[in-house]
Amino acid sequence: MATLAELITENSSLTTNEVEHLAELVAEWRLLADLSFADLLLWLPIRRDEKSWPQGHLVIAQIRPTTAATVFSNDLVGSQVNWGVRPLVDQALSDGEILRDAKPELVGQLMIKEESIPVILNGKTLAVISRHRNSELMRQPSKLELNYREIAHKIYKMVAEGTFPIRNSLYSSESAPRVGDGLIRLDVNGTIFFASPNARSALSRVGFQKELEGENLGAVFASLHKGENLPTDESWQTSLSGKSLRRAEYESPAAVIDILVIPLTEGNDRIGAVVLLHNITELRNRDRALITKDATIKEIHHRVKNNLQTVSALLRLQSRRVTDPIASEALSEAVRRVASIALVHETLSNQSSEFVEFDQVFEQIVKNALDLNTRKIEFKKVGVFGAFDSKTATALSLVVTELIHNALEHGLNESGDQLTVEVVKKQNNYQVNVCDNGSGLPSEFNIEKSANLGLQIATTLTKNELNGSLDLIRVGDLTRAEISFSGN
């Protein structure tokens, strides 16, 4: 399915600024659908250039209301009609005027009233909104419905005047308050003359129990503001006056309210504002719980890392006291393996994600290995690991550590020591090759029967933890250990 921008550019010659205007309208027009209890279609005139008469119209966007039942159950985006098939859309495009007096027509089993609103920018009609609602629902509207529709009419007029959507607005995100969350209507002085039941409930939760109508909204919040919130640059009276688009958040010990102020204009005059309120207390509580959980997990990884480093230090002390070289070597290898695991937990303790950026861990593994080697090693890495979950990262760090140390111990060449690690990723499948230029493997070598403890550990972890395979093969003058496994 083509995107909105693709539909526009393929069927019209609108400028980048005009395309952005339509995109912002579509990003914000749920407000219009909910206020007018109507399905909305956005029709784009189809023409080669501005001088050509439109061949017809194309539906480039569609939205259904959350405040009423939908009129259209099917998706109409991409539908095309010839000029003359939708006379109201034709007329709105030609005249640049809103058409509201159409007679209801039978659509399926419903009598639907259609209205057309031109979308204008800088005096040019870019497209037409057709508004479709069930005429049966219009006979005895409640006070809430009347206010919603009056606000919708005013915003539709702003669309036809080119002043809506408000550019660079604050309410296009999915997290912004919606009409159903709570609505307050302000006059030009910022005085409340209508508040929906949900808006009343939201303010009641933060401690305002009086009648709202007739109150100044800024004064209402100023009376609640006891100083617990962070300092603000502007007073509540200024922020909630309705003179400009504002997004604010009020927090009390009992509740948190997200506030969105949308000014209403007519021509060059400001005529009031609509304020949307959303009680986001539970959302903020969940956010805080997640932050606390994240901090706890980080602290756990930090303590595990510290404990592993303590174990590593104890093993290192013990290895210095042991006179048997075989036992001392075994303890040194244990120190190395514990340190590899600690690296993963150290990385997890320093980041927010549950995934480990393994390239950072790998760099430290290689650095530690090369620092312990007395010979000069020519090291090269090809490719990128990316991120793994902690289980995969822990197993892979141990496997890579064993293979690198095995290569450094047995893969030395008198003419120059070379160590190369290649990372090959195809979709979610990985192959990691650890190559050295040593003397090679014995002809009868079998990794499954090898007595080398490091290779046994690497093989077991690859099979059991990575669900992969490990092979050692001779390629020309190189010995290559191949690890194959699937990522996250």
Per-residue pLDDT band for 232 (boundaries 50, 70, 90) equals very low
Per-residue pLDDT band for 230 (boundaries 50, 70, 90) equals very low
- The predicted pLDDT at position 187 comes to 94
pLDDT tens-digit series, residues 121-166? 999 999 999 999 888 766 677 889 899 999 999 999 999 999 998 8
Quote the strand ranges of 339-442, DSSP E: 355-357, 377-382, 387-389, 417-426, 429-436
Q: Rounded to an integer, what distance in angstroms lies between the CA atom of residue 225 and that of residue 302?
A: 40
Q: Is the pLDDT of residue 471 over 80?
A: yes
CA distances from residue 288 to 18, 197, 285, 349, 464 in whole angstroms, order as listed: 41, 28, 5, 19, 37
- The predicted pLDDT at position 358 comes to 83
Candidate from 67-71, 106-110, 361-365, 427-431 with smallest mean pLDDT: 106-110
Q: Rounded to an integer, what distance in angstroms lies between the CA atom of residue 297 and that of residue 389?
A: 14
Q: Is the pLDDT of residue 117 over 60?
A: yes
Q: Is 250 helix (H, G, I), strand (E, B) or coil?
A: strand
Stronger pLDDT, 401 or 295, i.e. the higher one: 401
pLDDT tens-digit series, residues 334-345? 777 777 777 776
Mean pLDDT of 192-217: 91
pLDDT tens-digit series, residues 248-288? 888 888 888 999 999 999 988 999 999 999 988 887 778 77
Per-residue pLDDT band for 197 (boundaries 50, 70, 90) equals very high
Q: Is the pLDDT of residue 233 over 50?
A: no
Average pLDDT, the chain: 83
Q: Rounded to an integer, what distance in angstroms lies between the CA atom of residue 472 and that of residue 479?
A: 7
**Which of 331-335, 376-380, 446-450 tops mean pLDDT?**
376-380
Q: Is the pLDDT of residue 294 over 80?
A: no
DSSP state of 14: -
Q: Where are the alpha helices (DSSP H) in 75-142?
A: 87-95
- The predicted pLDDT at position 448 comes to 64
Mean pLDDT of 401-414: 71
